[in-house]
Amino acid sequence: MKLLITGALGHIGSRLIHSLRPGDFEEVCLVDDLSSQRYCSLFNLPPGVPVRFVQADVCATDLRPLTAGIDVVIHLAAITDAAGSFSNAEEVERVNFAGTQRVAEACAASGCRLLFPSTTSVYGTTASVVDEAGPETDLKPQSPYAASKLRAEVLLQAMGREAGLRHTICRLGTIFGTSPGMRFHTAINKFAWQACTGQPLTVWRSAMQQMRPYLDVRDAVRAFSFIVQTNRFDRETYNLVTVNTTVSEIVAEIRGHIPDLSVEYVDSPIMNQLSYEVSAEKFRRLGFEFSGNLREGIEQTVSWLRNVRTARLRAN
């Protein structure tokens, strides 16, 4: 089997490519435009894995030569900062929707199967628990980022019906945990960074007790591998969530490592101030077990960053 991964050097992609083992795939093509300059994601890749790196922008490159002969595409290339997407909405739409359209069209033309990571941010509801079978009224994206992902979902569903595209849509909870190309603009990782560098945790004013879904990056990688290895390209949508938890509980976990952290409340550009849980039972019924752990994810992230805090304190 031959695999192609777009956005391969990002937070999830870098963890995924470092988890590959000899014999998993006949060939693995890594595609990234290096706009985030995560060169380090390519360091020390697992020996014996037949990796080929291509620097390319999925929004500009002719993708058909890349997808020719490929069996599965995992399309991770995206702009993922929900709060930041308000200031660059057009670029987010170009990358997340138009870029996905180009990848999907190349997959349909080449006969590739496509795994598309969407987001649980497409939900915006007063329901206490939501799942994939809920009404369309549950889908009220509150940021340009989430809106672009939902539009891409609709596109893929149409291409599945009309062009025979075999795909799977995965709505991911907010990612946490370490990876070579990890990012720090999402809640748990951002809070860990702020705490470890002596900054106050910037919490959205009404968010402290909101219940929201989170996904351990290790579970994301295992889920993608599960889908690929079981050939689960059934044109279905699945929620991937390790845990539903509140900001208050996250802060308490970080405070266990950084007792003197402080919290500063800020206003959020995202209007969705509702509290809800996202069910991942549909994906569990396929035989997958989420084994990630909030406490371990925070502990490892803090461990990685602890020296940053020590250096800052010494400098002061």
Give percent above pLDDT 90 in the chain. 81
Measured N-to-C along each axis, helices 247-255 and 187-196 cross at an angle, to the nearest 10 degrees, of 30
Cα angle 245-7-101, degrees, rounded to a multiple of 5? 95
On average, the pLDDT of the chain sits at: 92
- Residue range 222-245, pLDDT digits in tens: 999 999 999 999 999 999 999 999
Q: Residue 15's pLDDT is what?
A: 98
Judgement on whether residues 6 and 154 belong to the same structural domain of the protein: yes
Residue 312 to residue 310: CA distance in whole angstroms: 5
Answer whether 76's CB lies under 8 Å from 8's CB. Answer: yes
In a domain, 95, yes or no: yes
Instruction: Judge whether 286 lies within some domain.
Output: no
* Position with higher pLDDT, 314 vs 210: 210
In a domain, 15, yes or no: yes
Paired sense of beta strands 237-240 and 167-172, if any: parallel
Residues 193 and 269 in one domain: yes
Confidence of residue 315 (pLDDT cuts 50, 70, 90): very low
Q: How confident is the model at residue 209 (pLDDT cuts 50, 70, 90)?
A: confident
User: Does 37 share its domain with 85?
Assistant: yes
Residue 148 shares a structural domain with residue 6: yes
Q: Are residues 99 and 27 in the same domain?
A: yes
What is the percent of the chain where pLDDT is above 70?
A: 95
Does residue 182 form part of some domain? no
Domain contains 285: no
User: Residue 106 belongs to a domain with what CATH number?
Assistant: 3.40.50.720
pTM: 0.94
Q: Which domain holds residue 143?
A: 2-176+214-240
* Neighbouring-strand partners of residue 176: 216
Q: Are residues 205 and 220 in the same domain?
A: no
CB atoms within 10 A of CB 284: 14
> pLDDT digit string (tens) for 146-190?
999 999 999 999 999 999 999 999 999 999 999 999 989 888 999
Report the C-alpha gap between 269 and 250 in whole angstroms.
21
Distance of CA 306 to the CA centre of its chain: 25
Rounded to whole angstroms, the Cα distance separating 210 from 164 reads 40
Domain shared by 201 and 307, yes or no:
yes
Domain shared by 159 and 271, yes or no: no
**Residue 269: what pLDDT?**
66
Residue 3 · residue 28 · CB < 8 Å: yes
Same domain, 218 and 298: no
Answer whether residue 92 is part of any domain: yes
Q: How far apart are CA 290 and CA 159, in angstroms?
A: 30
Interacting residues of 133 by C-beta distance below 8 A, sequence separation 6+: 282
pLDDT category at 270 given cuts 50, 70, 90 is low
In the predicted model, what is the mean pLDDT of residues 19-46? 96
Instruction: Look at 103-112, 120-129, 265-274 and tell me which has the smallest mean pLDDT.
Output: 265-274
Name beta bridge partners: 215.
175
**pLDDT higher than threshold 80 for residue 132:** yes
Q: Backbone dihedral region of 85: left (phi > 0), alpha (psi from -120 to 50 degrees) or beta? A: alpha
Q: Which residue has the higher pLDDT, 306 or 4?
A: 4
Q: In this structure, is residue 283 part of a structural domain? A: no
Per the structure, the count of domains in the chain is 2
Q: Give CA separation, 64 vs 9, 17, 67, 70, 152, in Å.
A: 21, 22, 5, 10, 19
Residue 84, in any domain of the structure: yes
Distance between CA atoms of residues 75 and 168, nearest Å: 11
At residue 86, the pLDDT reads 85
**Residues 124 and 203 reside in one and the same domain:** no
Do 141 and 254 reside in the same domain of the chain? no
